[in-house]
Structure 1
Amino acid sequence: MKRLIYSLLILVAFVSSTYGQKKYSKILLESGTVHTGNGQVITTGSIGIENGVIILVKNTLAYTYNKSDWDTIINLSGHHVYPGFVAPNSTLGLTEIDAVRASRDYEEIGVFNPHVRAQIAYNCESKVIETVRTNGVLMIQTTPRGGRISGQSSLMTSSCWNWEDGTVKADDGIHVEWPSAYTRNWGDPITKPNETYEDQKRELIHFLLTAKAASGTKDKNTPLQFSALSECFNGEKRFYFHANEVQQINDILDLITELEIKFPVIVGGYESYLVADRLKIKKVPVMLGRLHSLPQREDDPFDLPYKLPFLLQQAGVQFCLQNEGDMEAMNARNLPFLAGTAMSYGLTEEEAIRSITLSACEIIGISKNYGSIEIGKRATLFASNGSALEMKGNQASVILIDGAFVPTTNFQTELYKKYKKKYGK
């Protein structure tokens, strides 16, 4: 087969025409600035890919190769290359328009739903996912909501034919909404103790203790809600505890010890920096909540949400960034810019990149194959015209998911081109 060398302009049209039809066996991306995701940078780097797996990561200037060895060679001089960004704890793929009830599929009725699985509800045809993917978010931990135990999340790609095709890791963990120790009336800045907190906590702990006791038996009549938790207790899945307050986090850490939970994760963690020592000792990672938020307490510094990644990094607590909150599905496209904000408030550029790539994959449990540009890992990565952590620079020029080319355009960019052509400059 005759070797093909494409310029970036030709590549855009090429990817659009061959999307979903053909995977090239040997691809070489050369001369880009490679941010590996593990803290290293290769200012002029080459990445070799064979059958969807990275087989080469070297300095281009020190690498001599035969052009005939590669099916496709893409010169990325002046571009930045990143591992695919990961959006943890997101309803992306489970909702399209939040205001339209028929398009929301992230919540089931009931209080304790550990058996509910988000994987099979994932919508690969989502128009919202298109706009997120072109900002470099190539993997999504699609996550259910509602109740005290919401259900099981799954790792999905942001480009797929159906949910089976898009699954990276099915049912990676179960999400627990820990009751809040405080209440606040709408419009009232003053928080008050939740008088029913102890009762709510006791009910949840009783359910988990009963589920653990049931998981040690082989009774076929064990209720589905209990058996669904068995893999969390034996360490095959994560326990994701959603909590922001110090009281919540301390109670969760006590429960982790009591139940001998092997892979707990705090989701939210607004006040996690106040108990960073305990988190570090127990090796409990944190999926930090949306940085672009107001302080949660009247006497908090105005920039506390921006500084949380740096505070945890300084304390030695493993963390990643996530985007839970209002309109979180469409706002997942802003994940790179959350990392950019963390960079402005203490993290280095490579630490900020790690917080949405390798650290997220380590916490979720997929870092063996994803999260960094290293030999042996899956080629899920993208190139950007500028820094992907800045709005102006984040312009995808090449996207690969598991070694397959994915379009770098979406319906919004197509509309832009359409009306630009009609009305000129």
Structure 2
Amino acid sequence: DLPAGAKIIKAEGLFAYPGMIDGLCYLGLQEISSIRATVDYKETGRLNPQAKTVEALRPDSMHIPIARSNGITAALVAPSGGLISGQSGLIRLVGWTPEEMIIKSSVAMHIQFPSLPRLRRRRETQPREQASKQIKELKELLKQARYYQKRKNLAKKNLELHFPEFDEKLEFLLPVVNGELPVMISVHADKDIKAAIKFVKDEKLKAIFFGVTDGWKVAEDIKKSGIPVVFSSLNSVPPKWEDGYDAFYRNPGVLAKAGVKFAFSSGSASTVSNPFRSFDFISPV
């Protein structure tokens, strides 16, 4: 029985959908991309595991009500830039304060995986070496975090041992090396995806891939790794013309057939919208 005074909505002939979740965006972190003062998803420096996007969240962002009216009710707001960008948080798109909006303040640690050059050229030797150096830097930092954890554990058991000096960066990496917090690795090219899979396996990390533009080329490798994927915006063109104009649209289908778990995202702040809304534009065709 309906309670007295209940509002009745006549929905005959309409469609009802659950609220959509944007898998990665910058809602509440970016207002106008060309005005630096309104862009808060990038921290200075290259290694920022201690940075949390929810600490910079602006509930009064004009993009939030627009996204909400388009059917998005929750979003993963993520950092970007550097090598280790920081931690993303899950928010609901309603609330007057950050505290009212935050569902979970720390969802994943975000890594911008070093990109190897696409073409083999003599002048690209330096970028190739730089990418390898950055991967080694990531591994070394995780090694330090594990050693830091070991020293803390030993000091707890043996009062004669001193605790290591507090290190903020290593402290926030402990949930990562302990398998409590997943890393979301931004990676796009096929050879970079393979390198990222090896990195995750070697470091025994709980991981999610973001972007995977060339995922369709290495779908079986991704499937075997068991790593789920969050696609970036599909409204783009392939980096190489020989991949075909529809490579971005084929990508999810190929990975779906391979059995890869995936989700979609806008990877933006101003283009957050319900993907089903696109049907309104193509239905007359």
Common topology (TM > 0.5): yes
Look up the match of 2:158: none
- The 8 Å contact of residues 148 and 164 in structure 2, kept in 1 or not, is answered as no
Match of 1:150 among 69, 85, 88: 85
Structure 1: which amino acid aligns with 2:110?
H
**1:44-75 CA-partner distances (Å, limit 9, x unpaired):** xxxxxxxxxxxxxxxxxxxxxx2348844433
- The 8 Å contact of residues 276 and 315 in structure 1, kept in 2 or not, is answered as yes
**1:269-292 CA-partner distances (Å, limit 9, x unpaired):** 111222222222221001112111
Match status 1:206 vs 2:124: no
Match of 2:191 among 235, 238, 247: 247
2:49 is paired with a residue of what secondary structure?
A: coil
TM-score (norm 2): 0.86
**Alpha carbons of structure 1 residues 283 and 117: separation in structure 2 relative to 1, 3 Å:** same
Distance (Å, rounded) in 1 between the aligned partners of 2:46 and 2:4: 57
Distance (Å, rounded) in 2 between the aligned partners of 1:323 and 1:217: 42
| Offset, 1:131 | 1.1
- The 8 Å contact of residues 32 and 39 in structure 2, kept in 1 or not, is answered as yes
| Offset, 1:257 | 1.7
Distance (Å, rounded) in 2 between the aligned partners of 1:273 and 1:222: 44
2:66 is paired with a residue of what secondary structure?
A: helix
Report % sequence identity.
26
Match status 1:286 vs 2:229: yes
Look up the match of 2:159: none
> Which runs of no fewer than 5 residues in structure 2 stay unpaired?
153-162
| Offset, 1:216 | 3.7
Match of 2:131 among 191, 194, 197: 197
| Offset, 1:220 | 5.5
Match of 2:57 among 122, 136, 144: 122
Structure 1: which amino acid aligns with 2:89?
S
Match of 1:329 among 252, 269, 272: 269
Give 1 or 2: higher helix fraction.
2
**Alpha carbons of structure 1 residues 292 and 76: separation in structure 2 relative to 1, 3 Å:** same
**1:358-391 CA-partner distances (Å, limit 9, x unpaired):** xxxxxxxxxxxxxxxxxxxxxxxxxxxxxx4434
- The 8 Å contact of residues 124 and 160 in structure 1, kept in 2 or not, is answered as yes
CA RMSD, Structure 1 to Structure 2 (Å): 2.2
Distance (Å, rounded) in 2 between the aligned partners of 1:308 and 1:201: 26
Structure 1: which amino acid aligns with 2:179?
G
- The 8 Å contact of residues 105 and 121 in structure 1, kept in 2 or not, is answered as yes
Distance (Å, rounded) in 1 between the aligned partners of 2:244 and 2:17: 33
Distance (Å, rounded) in 2 between the aligned partners of 1:159 and 1:216: 42
- Higher RCO (C-alpha under 8 Å, 6+ residues apart): 1
**1:221-280 CA-partner distances (Å, limit 9, x unpaired):** 24111110111222222200110112221122112222211x200111111222222222
Structure 2: which amino acid aligns with 1:211?
A
- The 8 Å contact of residues 107 and 145 in structure 1, kept in 2 or not, is answered as yes
Match of 1:106 among 41, 49, 53: 41
| Offset, 1:215 | 3.1
**1:313-356 CA-partner distances (Å, limit 9, x unpaired):** 000000111122xxx210113xx33xx5xxxxxxxxxxxxxxxx
1:228 is paired with a residue of what secondary structure?
A: helix
2:242 is paired with a residue of what secondary structure?
A: coil
Match of 2:212 among 266, 269, 284: 269
Match of 1:305 among 228, 242, 248: 248
Structure 1: which amino acid aligns with 2:149?
S
**Alpha carbons of structure 1 residues 315 and 127: separation in structure 2 relative to 1, 3 Å:** same
| Offset, 1:183 | 6.3
Distance (Å, rounded) in 2 between the aligned partners of 1:165 and 1:224: 27
Aligned length: 267
2:279 is paired with a residue of what secondary structure?
A: coil
Match of 1:181 among 106, 116, 128: 116
Distance (Å, rounded) in 2 between the aligned partners of 1:213 and 1:73: 61
Distance (Å, rounded) in 1 between the aligned partners of 2:164 and 2:94: 38
Structure number with greater Rg is 1
| Offset, 1:174 | 0.6
Look up the match of 2:149: 215
Structure 1: which amino acid aligns with 2:257?
Q
Look up the match of 1:390: 279
- The 8 Å contact of residues 53 and 79 in structure 2, kept in 1 or not, is answered as yes
Distance (Å, rounded) in 2 between the aligned partners of 1:201 and 1:282: 19
**Alpha carbons of structure 1 residues 73 and 259: separation in structure 2 relative to 1, 3 Å:** same
Give 1 or 2: higher strand fraction.
1
Distance (Å, rounded) in 2 between the aligned partners of 1:69 and 1:229: 53
Match status 1:230 vs 2:174: yes
Distance (Å, rounded) in 1 between the aligned partners of 2:68 and 2:279: 16
